[in-house]
Amino acid sequence: MEVSIESSALENLIQYYHDKKLAHAYLISTNNIAKCYEVLLKVIKNIFCVNEYVDNCNKCSLCHLIDVHNLPSLKVIEPDGTFIKKEQILELKYLFSKDSQYTKENIYIIKNAEKMNKESANTMLKFLEEPDGDVIGFFITNNKDNVISTIVSRCQNIDVNFTNSDFEELGLNEEEYNNYLDTLNDYLTKIEMEKSKLILYNKECLGEYTKDDIKILMQMALKKYKEALNNKILGKEIKDNLLFLDKLNINNLKKKVNLLIDYLKELTYNVNLDLLLDKFVIEMEAINNESL
């Protein structure tokens, strides 16, 4: 069965390994460390699975041990507080001073490699130059410029970028995103369609929301109106369950996009949320009235 790795740059590592061309260390620059780590684990499973690997392999103990973060020959290091510390690298060296009993090579993954401090980076450098036995290392970073240059120069460098989903872009999980989306859709429908008691509705619908919550809702609304505007300009169908978006003209949409941008700027300051939301409703309604 064909296994989707989601990134050709990472998928290539599987073939490099089987062709005996895999480097001893890779620096992976990415826009999504969490997703890159997940995909990298899938690559490692694919290489070392004792069966023919398939997604969510449940036949071999090795894939299971990786899933439960308990494979002795795989060590994952991430920042302990603000930095990755020298002691964490020393522990890695000690653990890998013996040959692997589970996989042919010992494997380590360092997440947020840019957060190695001077001491840990120098200790890591010695390990890179003189590894004990067969070792494969992966450094994952979203800020390659801040990784110590001597480590960068000793690794094969690859770029792995993902198209983030809407909820990942906002730093949310899917359930959180859907909850915000339900609130936003209801809120915008009230503003655009019902046009009654909207200021009271602010308190009823958003009264418990913090400034960060409102910022997320405004960002989501801005994306909706921007997409609607772009599709309108290009003469494309607006694919959104908010049917009123298709009825708005280009001028109306432009003004609302600019209005949302302004309110997102205001949310960076110390503002009274109740007054800000009341003002937002009034200005949205004023734009609608201009179109009548």
Q: What is the pLDDT of residue 197?
A: 56
Of residues 34, 49, 67, 36, the one with CA closest to residue 1: 49
Ramachandran class of 210: left when φ > 0, alpha when ψ lies in -120 to 50, beta otherwise: beta
Strand pairing report for 106-111 and 156-160 = unpaired
Token pair for 84: 């990755």
Q: Are 229 and 222 in contact (CB under 8 A)?
A: no
Task: Please tell me the distance from the alpha carbon of residue 45 to that of residue 63, in angstroms, as a whole number.
Answer: 6
Q: What is the pLDDT of residue 33?
A: 87
137-171 burial code (b ≥16 CB/10 A, e <16): bbbbbbebeebbeebbebbeebebeeeeeebbebe
pTM: 0.60
In tens digits, what is the pLDDT along the chain, a chain of 292 residues?
233 345 677 888 888 888 888 899 999 998 888 889 988 998 998 888 877 766 666 667 788 888 888 898 999 999 988 899 999 999 998 888 877 778 889 999 999 999 998 899 999 998 888 776 789 999 999 899 999 999 999 999 999 888 777 887 787 888 999 999 999 998 898 888 865 555 566 667 777 889 999 999 999 999 999 999 998 898 887 777 788 888 889 999 999 999 999 999 999 899 898 889 889 988 998 898 886 5
Task: Please tell me the distance from the alpha carbon of residue 158 to that of residue 172, in angstroms, as a whole number.
Answer: 27
